[in-house]
Structure 1
Amino acid sequence: MTAEQIIAGVKAKDRLTTEYLYKKYSKALYTVVCRIISNKQIAEEVFHDSFINITRKIQSEYVHDGHFYTWMANICRKFAKEKNKS
């Protein structure tokens, strides 16, 4: 499945596409969070919050520019940095 297909499926609120997105990118995105947050439990919470935010932002904010993974990773980094400050 291409990034365009994933984006279209998530925008259409297709559950299988959202699951595919999670399976395809969760490990890499979780690693992004873990580079900032060393506590595994907190990192998991931050990752899950980030993933939910990603699926919501795809609806309104994502503009396809060929950098889908980078866009998602930036959201995860932002959430992790905000959590690290608190």
Structure 2
Amino acid sequence: MECKINHIKTIYSEEELIASLREKSESGFHHLYDHYSGALYGVILRIVQSKEYTEEIIQDVFMKIWNSIHQYDTAKGRFYTWMINIARNTAIDYLKSKSFQNELKNQTLPDFVYNNAELSTTNNSDFIGFSKVLETLESDKQEIINLAYYQGYTQSEISEKLNMPLGTVKTKMRNALMKLKDLLKDYQ
């Protein structure tokens, strides 16, 4: 005898989703994962450039969201932005971790070559459709956003890499983010 269980999928508004996560609702967590895992996966993959590492990190990201939901403040920004920042910071922390650095040092040459060949095909994907919006920015601002959000550079590292004063990097990044915010209002 075959037993089928019908799962009723609940559709949540952003406010309802946040409330359900704060109540530790399992259906809220499933909704969160179903609706946001693809976008967060794409952000992480752009930073770590490895499917294997991305799959490890995405689990950590969702656990951080689940365990830190009480820290989210709607007055400070959108829920999606908060989650993107958790994903980005977790990926950067992973890249900077000693265990990851040691693993890179101990990786055999064929593994290293194979992994980089695989990356070149996945690197051009635009998982959240953001590249078209980003292309509307001036090229210097695109480069700063790319370095910060897709390659995991800090503002100090960007300043050093581009041989640009730190204050200029901060100003350009702030202006770019403000412009992106205005542009993204049209996509909501």
Q: Same fold (TM over 0.5)?
A: yes
1:63 maps to 73
Give every structure 1 segment of 4 or more consecutive aligned residues whose post-TM-superposition deviation is greater than 4 Å. none
**Post-superposition shift, 1:57?**
0.7
Supply the RMSD in Å over aligned alpha carbons: 1.0
Amino acid of the residue matched to residue 31 of structure 2? Y
Q: Whole-Å Cα distance in 1 between the matches of residues 16 and 94 of structure 2? A: 31
| Greater share of residues in helix | 1
Q: 1:85 aligns with which of 96, 118, 121?
A: 96
Q: Partners in 2 of 1:62 and 1:27 — Cα distance?
A: 21
Structure-2 residue corresponding to 1:74:
85
The residue aligned with 2:43 is 32
Alpha-carbon separation, structure 2, partners of 1:80 and 1:71: 14
Percent identity for Structure 1 against Structure 2: 40
Q: Residue by residue, what CA displacement relative to the aligned partner does 1:27-57 show, whole Å, maximum 9, x if unpaired?
A: 0011110010111111111111011001111
* Cα deviation, residue 78, structure 1: 0.3
Q: TM-score, normalised by structure 2?
A: 0.44
CA radius of gyration, larger in: 2
Q: 1:14 aligns with which of 20, 25, 28?
A: 25
